[in-house]
Amino acid sequence: MPNLTDKAALITGGGRGIGRAIARAFAEAGADVCVLGRTKSEIDEVAARITKSGRQGIAEVCDVADRQAVEIAIARAAEALGRIDILVNNAGGGTERTRVGEDDPDRWVSAIEVNLLGTYYCTRAAVPYLRKGEASKIINVGSGMGHQARRGNSSYNAANAGVWMFTRCLAMELQEDDISVNELIPGPVYTKLTSDIFRPGEPHPQIPGERVKSAQDVVPLAMFLASQPAGGPTGQSFSLARRPL
């Protein structure tokens, strides 16, 4: 297992699904972890497990779409952990899956706020702390839908297309600080948010050859990106999908 000893990581959306799996894996690899999310009971449970394992685990209740709340939460996390070396922008999702004109504008905007603006707010607040470290990492959990057009889910596609462009722009801006910025595309993963359309371990209902993964299946790629040495890849997209993007 890669060694993250003496590193401090902040995982958004860390109370469930992919974020929870990554947070626990980073702690097992030696990192102290701040778990950030909206549901206190969930992030408290993850932080308690991390602390029980011998690492420092803290929980910060925060909605990533609230810029002021993000700034406060990340400042508190940096103070408690003493540093931030790894930021995983994992919080996201979207429930508006109808065509424009038939959609709910509030839900359309919410997908942009959580996926794109949330990634921006958390990154902006964390960058001053990441600059203080050595070979710090930003991992933006994106989606293959941000690389392809598709009917009936334009809010999620547009938000994740923005995340991918933001990843590349940010990688260029932070290259001199030796902060790597990469996108992680999990492909279809069974979580609480996708339980109405996916079944774990089964083929994708619409994409031939694609399979529905578990949150734990995403961990090895997240560990790879978090443990790269100085001068490692940046501005790249790494995918677990089983189809061209």
Number of continuous H segments (helices) and E segments (strands) in the chain: 7, 7
Asked whether residue 245 is domain-assigned, the answer is no
In a domain, 154, yes or no: yes
DSSP structure string for 145-165: GGTS--TT-HHHHHHHHHHHH
Q: What tens-digit pLDDT sequence spans the chain (245 residues)?
A: 689 999 999 999 999 999 999 999 999 999 999 999 999 999 999 999 999 999 999 999 999 999 999 999 999 999 999 999 999 999 998 877 889 999 889 999 999 999 999 999 999 999 999 999 999 999 999 998 889 888 888 999 999 999 999 999 999 999 999 999 999 999 888 776 666 667 767 666 667 667 888 999 999 999 999 999 999 999 999 999 877 77
Report yes or no on 2 lying in a domain: no
- Domain range enclosing 67: 8-239
> 190 an active-site residue?
no
- Residue for token pair 């609480």: 192
Whether the CB-CB separation of 9 and 88 falls below 8 Å is answered with yes
Of 68, 109, 74, residue with least CA distance to 89: 74
3 within a domain of the structure (yes/no): no
When divided into structural domains, the chain yields a total of 1
Is 244 contained in some domain? no
pTM for the model: 0.93
d(CA 81, CA 120): 22
The answer to whether residue 95 sits within a structural domain is yes
Look up the CATH number of the domain holding residue 162.
Answer: 3.40.50.720
Residues 123-151 pLDDT 10s: 999 999 999 999 999 999 999 888 988 88
Residue 179 within any structural domain of the chain: yes
Instruction: State the catalytic residue, choosing from 121, 129, 156, 190.
Output: 156
- Residue matched to tokens 């799996």: 21
Checking 69-72 for CB contacts under 8 A at 24+ apart, the result is: 70/118, 70/121, 70/122, 70/125, 71/121, 71/125
